[in-house]
Amino acid sequence: MTRLDNGPEVITEVDARELRCPLPLLRAKQALRTIDPGQAVRVLATDAGSVRDFRAFADLAGHGLEREDRPDGVYVYILVKS
């Protein structure tokens, strides 16, 4: 577990690198079911289609997309459960 700077506590990490969409999103959804509201999941993905999927999912499901980065060719998402 790690805490983001004054942000939510990251409870678990999903390593979805090398998986094609929609698998990164499906794995993230599974992880979100295991945590409490206000806690976060960090997702690592390499599929460029994941950008669109994670933005749409966060909007539709009401979860927060706290961070979206792409260091070293790996997309890193922080999803906060609502």
The dihedrals phi and psi of 74, each to the nearest 5 degrees, come to -115, 125
pLDDT of residue 5: 61
Segment holding 71, helix H or strand E:
none
56 is catalytic: no
52 SS3 class: helix
**One of 4, 21, 26, 51 is an active-site residue; which one?**
21
Check pLDDT > 80 for residue 2: no
pLDDT average, residue stretch 36-58: 96
Strand ranges of the sheet holding 75-80, from the earlier edge strand across to the other edge: 2-3, 9-16, 40-45, 75-80, 64-69
pLDDT in tens, 4-43: 566 788 999 999 999 999 999 999 999 999 999 999 999 9
- In angstroms, the CA 13 to CA 75 distance is 13
